[in-house]
Amino acid sequence: MRGIYWVCAVCAMLAMGLLMARQAETKAPKKITYEELVKLLEKPQDVLFIDVREPNEIEVTGTLKGALTIPVGQLADRLKEVPKDKPVVAFCRRGGRATRASNLLDEKGYKTLGVFGLEEYHDRLKDYLVYPK
């Protein structure tokens, strides 16, 4: 009986090690500061913003003017909608989903500049927000 427990413990440790190694391979994207964001917003022709939140969230808090809106869960299936001729900034509410989106885009050969959470800068971005109906 003890042998089975040892085998299970070793297997669990190996699985954890593999999971941690996989997470280490995924780089954390750069967090865009408010100052950097404003500079990028002043030149919308030079960058593509992707809002990866759900439509109901966008209705409530708005999104950036000109942003492409694709929920993160649909992004892999809708990559053809994302042009490759501009660097990309992904954003969501707090940055978690944007990080996943940015990592996916990196893996698929897109140039990504970083991510941010709209919640942090929302009140200072009123001039850049639109509210779809």
Catalytic residues: 92
Task: Mention every residue, 6+ apart, whose C-beta is less than 8 A from residue 36.
Answer: 114
β pairing state of 112-117 and 48-51? unpaired
Sign of the Cα torsion 48, 128, 122, 71 reads negative
* Nearest Cα to Cα of residue 83 among 60, 109, 107, 55: 109
How distant is the alpha carbon of residue 105 from its chain centre? Answer: 9
Strands (E), the chain: 48-51, 63-64, 68-69, 88-92, 112-117, 129-130
